């Protein structure tokens, strides 16, 4: 709150309330999914706790419109309400149904998660792609009929089948591509970096799992994305793609 209310960063202009706005329409509302979140859950994947100031600002505006209009002052539009995490549905409800969450004692994430979510432990590929690990994730809805009944109080859901939009028909098939020897060596180096990070011997500002994952994606696409001095591998994904298009 101190950061948001830092007056030294603000111009001396009219306030939002003085503008007289009584309705707010947000297109591509998924851009505001990184709203502040507090939880006691630890080491559980699928619960993003990153926050953006624009999301906090929008949340305060939504609460202001709730007071003015009784919860009818904000309209969201998006084609991807849930893109990466189940938490995004909770975030939408905080924006549009905060009073409803309060009435049901679900305004706090842990209460909402224990009612509508379930943690699942499964074996998955490690970020560096060289092994497997058991990872607990917040990955399954529970009491889904009750959750959807609540959400549909404010949501008008349209699927692709309902819209019948004119889209071209695509034929999908998988093409297996073998890594080059250089790619195998570089994947091994990613594993070494990951071990150093897990051991705490590398500062997160120098190297972290996000950088390793990003490097792994680039390496899998083409080894030259990691080092432009490397040769063009005839068996790379890019060459396999151009041969099929």
CA–CA gap between residue 241 and residue 39 (Å, rounded) = 44
**Domain stop point among 161, 191, 212:** 161
What's the rounded Cα separation, in Å, for the pair 13 and 78?
31
- Assess whether 38 and 91 both reside in one domain: yes
Answer whether residue 174 is part of any domain: no
Mind giving me the DSSP string for 190-205? Answer: HHHHHHHHHTT-S-TT
Same domain, 152 and 207: no
pTM listed for this prediction: 0.75
pLDDT of 10 reads 63
Q: Could you tell me the residue range of the domain that residue 37 belongs to?
A: 7-161
- According to the model, what pLDDT value does residue 7 have? 60
Same domain for 190 and 114?
no
Task: Measure the CA–CA gap between 130 and 88, rounded to whole angstroms.
Answer: 30
Series of mean pLDDT values for 10-residue runs along the chain (245 residues): 64 83 93 91 79 93 93 93 89 96 94 90 77 82 93 92 87 88 90 89 89 91 90 90 85
Last residue of a domain, one of 161, 194, 215: 161
With beta carbons less than 8 A apart as the criterion, state whether 95 and 59 touch.
yes
* Distance, CA of 201 to CA of 59 (rounded, Å): 39
In the chain, the number of structural domains is 2
> Has residue 168 been placed in a domain?
no
pLDDT at 167: 87
35 and 146 part of one domain: yes
Sign of CA dihedral 57, 29, 46, 132: negative
Residue 133 lies in a domain: yes
Question: CB neighbours of 213 closer than 8 A, spacing ≥ 6?
Answer: 127, 128
Cβ proximity of 155 and 93 under 8 Å: no
| Alpha-carbon separation of residue 120 from 80, 109, 124, 135 (angstroms) | 23, 17, 12, 8
- Whole-Å CA distances, 164 to 78, 151, 170: 17, 24, 16
Question: What is the structure's pLDDT at 88?
Answer: 92
Residue 20 lies in a domain: yes
């Amino acid at each position: 709150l101190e950061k948001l209310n830092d007056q030294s960063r603000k111009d001396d202009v009219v306030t939002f309330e003085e503008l007289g706005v009584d309705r707010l329409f947000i297109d591509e509302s998924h851009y505001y999914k990184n709203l502040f979140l507090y939880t006691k859950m630890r080491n559980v994947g699928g619960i993003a706790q990153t926050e953006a100031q624009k999301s906090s600002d929008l949340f305060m505006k939504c609460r202001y419109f709730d007071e003015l209009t009784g919860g009818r002052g904000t309209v969201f539009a998006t084609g991807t309400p849930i893109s990466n995490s189940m938490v995004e549905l909770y975030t939408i409800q905080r924006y549009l149904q905060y009073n409803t969450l309060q009435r049901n004692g679900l305004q706090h994430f842990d209460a909402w998660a224990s009612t509508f979510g379930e943690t699942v432990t499964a074996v998955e590929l490690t970020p560096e792609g060289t092994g497997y690990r058991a990872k607990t994730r917040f990955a399954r809805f529970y009491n889904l009929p009750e959750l959807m009944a609540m959400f549909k109080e404010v949501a008008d859901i349209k699927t692709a089948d309902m819209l019948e939009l004119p889209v071209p028909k695509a034929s999908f098939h998988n093409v297996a591509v073998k890594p080059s020897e250089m790619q195998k060596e570089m994947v091994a180096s990613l594993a070494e970096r990951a071990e150093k990070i897990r051991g705490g011997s590398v500062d997160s500002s120098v190297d972290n799992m996000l950088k390793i994952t990003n490097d792994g994606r680039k390496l899998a696409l083409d080894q030259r994305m990691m080092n432009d001095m490397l040769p063009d591998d005839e068996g790379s994904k890019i060459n396999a793609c151009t041969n099929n298009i």
